[in-house]
C-alpha cells in the first residue's frame, strides 16, 4: 500500500497536476488532498488516479480528464467538443460587462462551452443573453453549463451570423456581440503542441492567416447591432494591429485594443454609429 503523496510523486507529473487528478479520482476537493496526502488510498481510488495519470502523461489536457474547468469563478463542464476556457478570455467578459446597458441584450458567437455567455448571464440577470455555435455537440455542453448555473440563455445553431434567418432571430439586433472565435493560422506549429492537440480544430484555426472568421464576424456584425452597439472579440497575441485597422477601415467607431494580463493585445472592439 502507498500513501496518496507517494503515488503522486511516483506519477512523474508536476505535483499540482497530480494532486488535482488524484483528488478528482478520490472524489475529494483539492484542499482535502493537500491536507490528507499522507493517508493510504483505497484501491478503487488509486486505480482511478492511475488511469488519470496515464492519460495526462499521454498529453491529454487536465481539463478534459477532470471534465471541468473554472472560468470567471464558475465551474464549467468541458468535453473534447469544446475549447477549454482560458484565463485571458476573462478580460473579454470584463469589457463586455462594462458596456452592457441595463436590460440590454447580447449574443455570444461560437459559444463553445458557453463560458462567456454563462459568465455574463450569471453576473447580469437583467440582460437577455443569446449564444450560438455551428457545432451541435458544443451547444449541448453550453446548455448543460447554462443549466448548471441557472442562467436562462437562448441557444441557436448558427455559422457565425450568417444563418440568422431563423424566426427567433430574424431582424434581431443586440447591444453587444461578443466572440472568442478561432484565430490561429492553419499550419501554425502551435496547433501541434500542448492542450491544443486535443482541442477541436474548428474552434482554433481559421484560414491561412487565422483571420478568416474575424473578417467575417466584423463584416456580419453591424446588421445585427443596435445603433451604438458594441462588437468585442478576442484575437491572437500578434493580431492586435491588424484587427484594429480592420475595424477602423469599416464602419466601426471608438475602436480600441485591450491588453491581457501577460501584456499581449488580446481583445479588439468597436461600435456602430449612433442614430443621430
Ligand atoms: N488562446 C488560444 C490559444 O492560442 C486559442 C483560442 C482561440 O483560437 N480562440 O491557445
Look at residue 164 in the predicted model and tell me its pLDDT: 58
Give dist(CA 197, CA 203) in Å, integer: 12
Buried/exposed code over 169-202 (b: 16+ C-beta within 10 A; e: otherwise): beeebbbbbbbbbbbbbeebeebeeeebeebbee
* Test site for ligand 1: of 204, 212, 239, 268, most ligand atoms within 8 A of the Cβ: 204
pLDDT score recorded for residue 88: 95
Give pLDDT tens digits for 8-37: 999 999 999 999 999 999 999 989 999 999
Measured in Å, residue 25 CA sits from the centre of ligand 1 at 29
At 133, which helix (H) or strand (E)? strand 128-133
pLDDT by residue (tens digit) across 173-216? 999 999 999 999 999 999 999 999 999 999 999 999 999 999 99
Once rounded to an integer, what is the mean pLDDT over residues 66-78? Answer: 97
* 163 pLDDT above the threshold of 80: no
> For a substitution probing ligand 1, which of 83, 184, 233 has the most ligand atoms within 8 Å of its CB?
184
- Which atom of ligand 1 lies closest to the CA of 206? 8
Residue 274 is predicted with a pLDDT of 87
* Ligand 1 surroundings by CB, under 6 angstroms: 83, 86, 180, 182-184, 196, 204, 234
Name 253's bridge partners: 271
The answer to whether residues 190 and 56 touch, using CB atoms and an 8 Å cutoff, is: no
Residues 6+ apart with CB under 8 A from 260: 88, 91, 266, 267
Location of C-alpha cell 473554472:
70
Q: What are 210-267's pLDDT values in tens digits?
A: 999 999 999 999 999 999 999 999 999 999 999 999 999 998 999 999 999 999 999 9
Give 209 Cα–ligand 1 centroid separation in angstroms: 14
* pLDDT score of 42: 87
- Please state the atom number of ligand 1 nearest to the C-alpha of residue 86: 1
Task: Decide: helix, strand or coil at residue 217.
Answer: helix
Give the atom of ligand 1 at the shortest distance from the alpha carbon of 205: 8
Instruction: Write out the three cell numbers for 16.
Output: 499540482
Q: Name the residue with the closest Cα to ligand 1, atom 9.
A: 182
Please state at what angle helix 115-123 crosses helix 89-99, rounded to 10 degrees: 40
CA of 183 to the centre of ligand 1 (A): 7
In this predicted structure, the answer to whether residue 56 has a pLDDT above a threshold of 90 is: yes
Residue 165 has pLDDT above 60, yes or no: no
Which residues are CB-neighbours of 149 under 8 A, at least 6 positions away? 74, 118, 121, 122
Amino acid at each position: 500500500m502507498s500513501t496518496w503523496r507517494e503515488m503522486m510523486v511516483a506519477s512523474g507529473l508536476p505535483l499540482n497536476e497530480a494532486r488535482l487528478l488524484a483528488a478528482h479520482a478520490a472524489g475529494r476537493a483539492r484542499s482535502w488532498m493537500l491536507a490528507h496526502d499522507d493517508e493510504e488510498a483505497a484501491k478503487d481510488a488509486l486505480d482511478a488516479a492511475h488511469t488519470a495519470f496515464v492519460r495526462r502523461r499521454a498529453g491529454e489536457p487536465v481539463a478534459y480528464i477532470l471534465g471541468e474547468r473554472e472560468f470567471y469563478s464558475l465551474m464549467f463542464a468541458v468535453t473534447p467538443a469544446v475549447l477549454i476556457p482560458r484565463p485571458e478570455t476573462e478580460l473579454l467578459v470584463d469589457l463586455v460587462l462594462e458596456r452592457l446597458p441595463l436590460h440590454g441584450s447580447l449574443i455570444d458567437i461560437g459559444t463553445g462551452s458557453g463560458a462567456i455567455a454563462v459568465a455574463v448571464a450569471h453576473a447580469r440577470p437583467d440582460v437577455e443573453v443569446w449564444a450560438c455555435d455551428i457545432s451541435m455537440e458544443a451547444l449541448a455542453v453550453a446548455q448543460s453549463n447554462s443549466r448548471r448555473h441557472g442562467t436562462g440563455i437562448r441557444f441557436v445553431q448558427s455559422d457565425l451570423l450568417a444563418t440568422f434567418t431563423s424566426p427567433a432571430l430574424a431582424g434581431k439586433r443586440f447591444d453587444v456581440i461578443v466572440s472568442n472565435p478561432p484565430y490561429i493560422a492553419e499550419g501554425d506549429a502551435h496547433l501541434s503542441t500542448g492542450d491544443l492537440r486535443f482541442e477541436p480544430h474548428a474552434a482554433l484555426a481559421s484560414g491561412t492567416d487565422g483571420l478568416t472568421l474575424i473578417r467575417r464576424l466584423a463584416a456580419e456584425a453591424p446588421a445585427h447591432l443596435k445603433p451604438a452597439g458594441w462588437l468585442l472579440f478576442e484575437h491572437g497575441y500578434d493580431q492586435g494591429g491588424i484587427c484594429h485597422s480592420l475595424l477602423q477601415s469599416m464602419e466601426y467607431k471608438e475602436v480600441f485594443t485591450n491588453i491581457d494580463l501577460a501584456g499581449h493585445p488580446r481583445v479588439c472592439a468597436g461600435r456602430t454609429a449612433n442614430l443621430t
